[in-house]
Structure 1
């Protein structure tokens, strides 16, 4: 079965702790529809969407986007633009892998169809969650595989024709859309330095290990099947609709996992929290101002990438754009070269290289050591 895709990316909307994310009105209508979706209908669209992501993943690994054209109607302007956007994203990942001296080996996606609604005869609205697992190796050690996961949320419109479904619209939380420019990085210098590194001998303290375990369990992209697509919703509200959940999750990691005690400034109760707990700018300011964190380095990627090797699990990265902290990620691992890997919400990341998706020259990195 052939799928033609017209794509409208949301960009990195959910990644910015003070910029609210809202589903399109028609997507909210689909999600709020209380009528049940039949198992047969879910299974049908589950198969279609899995095929879509298989083809996207192949294009990233191969660097060849020609196969993606099968999903688009290139005679329609918005569809052509969407295709070009996907090509740009695939090219960014190839450029990033070149800078990093890594090769993507294979990608695999887990798809969960949450809701299917027939909006009108032959036109269906579909909401689904997707976790994509990336595997990569460094060019000087192809036998050592590193793995990370990205979780994204999608809303699609699919129109049924005589012999196929045509995807006429798609909104999704793209973790790369707002930061696809690597032109500002001196890649040859970076490549040599990265390849010269080795993972340090390091053992996490008990508190830090508990923080890591909490992060990996409730990040939404867990490798534990019991926690896939799940946050710790029994104790904490998902604040994505309110403006973002990244600082909330970073705070949870420190408190629930690392055992840091709440106080009047940094607090959460009754499914709501203080600015220092919920807001990315407030969180970073509180951690440094309170002495619970200390600065390792601050600057562009070119200025901090060497210092980043001083980071250890339990530390965090704050991302600044236009003078404002827009995202928080917690370091929860190091890859085979000692490169810091972060875990966070919105978009959901598990052990992702800390700069992936944050390559534009207007991004300032704040690398912060946490005192547990």
Structure 2
């Protein structure tokens, strides 16, 4: 009998202890939730914040266009580490864009972003926003200001806005920046490059074959956040998006080649929601296109070594970008500008008719210019 009573007492104590543990854990997680609320905002607040973010992007674009660092300064809370880093990154981007335009002998006349707010959540006293930004850049060459050229870049942002001094300021921002690999443009031989670019002339593309035209049409339609508004800023839903697995640029390039008439095979293939190495891997894709005979190398090397040869590129051709000895990115030529300079489309970051080297001028980057045999 004594043993039975003691057993019952032990069981009771264990039950009480278990209930206490559950209660304490519940209080902990409730406090965590309360301190980091992720409640979605109502429609009126979403409308207000959407207008606020559009205003921030407008001001930031004008600041970058006109080299107004004081305007950039007014948009960030630099007392917060992530806010300071976000501000410093935009300063670097501003300097790079103007260094590139100087080397290119062009002048930017407008930068305009179309903003789509995908979600807004409360975060403490402020908000976290997930944003799609499709930004159009307009430029002209200094010796022909009457001719306008444009390109579009699409980016996906996670942005924190927090109240300070009666304003909502950026305290954190993350996005895949297409200019992130371009911090050493000033090391290039600008004057020699200027002469080559300035002497460029428009090229007649009226004789492109039907396969190249179809490839370019596909590239323009499905270049995501950089595409024209009528295409809905989307990737082709028939294919997996590999951005979360290291990047979707090669998957997109393979789709473009397929749209241009190349047949799938045992090496280069996409089926059942997955692509082969040659389909999705940048190094594998470059090697496959060259070794299969579907393409041939025009030249490869540093920017100053390949610049003259780049004028041989046609819509549907490939530009591969080598970093630290490996191909890190693939883009597809989709057009030329008023000086015959090749323009490319790609995923991550999304690009529509962007000058082929823009965002890839860091020291050590090598370019592979590849002619595709459509």
**TM-score normalised over the length of structure 1:** 0.87
Counterparts of residues 342-361 of structure 1 (less than 5 Å): 342-361=344-363
Give yes or no for contact 1:333–1:351 (8 Å, CA) kept in 2: yes
What is the aligned partner in structure 1 of residue 67 from structure 2?
A: 63
What is the aligned partner in structure 1 of residue 150 from structure 2?
A: 147
Report the more deviating stretch, 69-78 or 189-198: 69-78
Distance 1:344 1:136, change over 3 A: same
**Separation (CA, whole Å) in 1 of partners of 2:205 and 2:293:** 24
Distance 1:282 1:338, change over 3 A: same
What is the aligned partner in structure 2 of residue 83 from structure 1?
A: 87
Residues 279-308 of structure 1 deviation map (CA, whole Å, 9 limit, x = unaligned): 101100000010011001100001001100
Higher helix fraction (1 or 2): 2
Counterparts of residues 1-372 of structure 1 (less than 5 Å): 38-76=42-80, 78-120=82-124, 122-161=125-164, 163-203=166-206, 204-221=208-225, 223-233=227-237, 235-255=238-258, 257-372=259-374
Residues 119-160 of structure 1 deviation map (CA, whole Å, 9 limit, x = unaligned): 33x222111110110000000000101100000011112223
**Separation (CA, whole Å) in 2 of partners of 1:177 and 1:359:** 10
Give yes or no for contact 1:222–1:228 (8 Å, CA) kept in 2: no
Higher-Rg member (1/2): 2
DSSP 3-state at the match of 1:52: helix
Give yes or no for contact 1:101–1:195 (8 Å, CA) kept in 2: yes
Q: Displacement of 1:64 after TM fit?
A: 2.5
Q: Comparing both chains, which one has the higher relative contact order based on Cα–Cα distances under 8 Å and sequence gaps of 6 or more?
A: 1
Count of residue pairs the alignment pairs up: 338
**Separation (CA, whole Å) in 1 of partners of 2:196 and 2:69:** 30
Distance 1:191 1:262, change over 3 A: same
DSSP 3-state at the match of 2:253: helix
**Separation (CA, whole Å) in 1 of partners of 2:193 and 2:165:** 52
Residues 12-34 of structure 1 deviation map (CA, whole Å, 9 limit, x = unaligned): xxxxxxxxxxxxxxxxx9xxx99
Q: Displacement of 1:164 after TM fit?
A: 2.3
Runs of 5+ consecutive residues of structure 2 not aligned to the other structure:
1-32
Give yes or no for contact 1:37–1:115 (8 Å, CA) kept in 2: no
DSSP 3-state at the match of 1:71: coil
Report the more deviating stretch, 325-334 or 59-68: 59-68
Residues 86-120 of structure 1 deviation map (CA, whole Å, 9 limit, x = unaligned): 11110110000001000001010010000111133
DSSP 3-state at the match of 1:284: helix
DSSP 3-state at the match of 1:147: strand
DSSP 3-state at the match of 2:74: helix
**Separation (CA, whole Å) in 1 of partners of 2:44 and 2:134:** 22
Runs of 5+ consecutive residues of structure 1 not aligned to the other structure:
1-28
Give yes or no for contact 2:226–2:350 (8 Å, CA) kept in 1: no
Report the more deviating stretch, 67-76 or 141-150: 67-76
What is the aligned partner in structure 1 of residue 15 from structure 2?
A: none
Distance 1:123 1:80, change over 3 A: closer
Distance 1:323 1:227, change over 3 A: same
What is the aligned partner in structure 1 of residue 19 from structure 2?
A: none
Give yes or no for contact 2:249–2:331 (8 Å, CA) kept in 1: yes
Give yes or no for contact 2:83–2:173 (8 Å, CA) kept in 1: no
DSSP 3-state at the match of 1:343: strand
Give yes or no for contact 2:39–2:122 (8 Å, CA) kept in 1: no
**TM-score normalised over the length of structure 2:** 0.86
What is the aligned partner in structure 1 of residue 5 from structure 2?
A: none
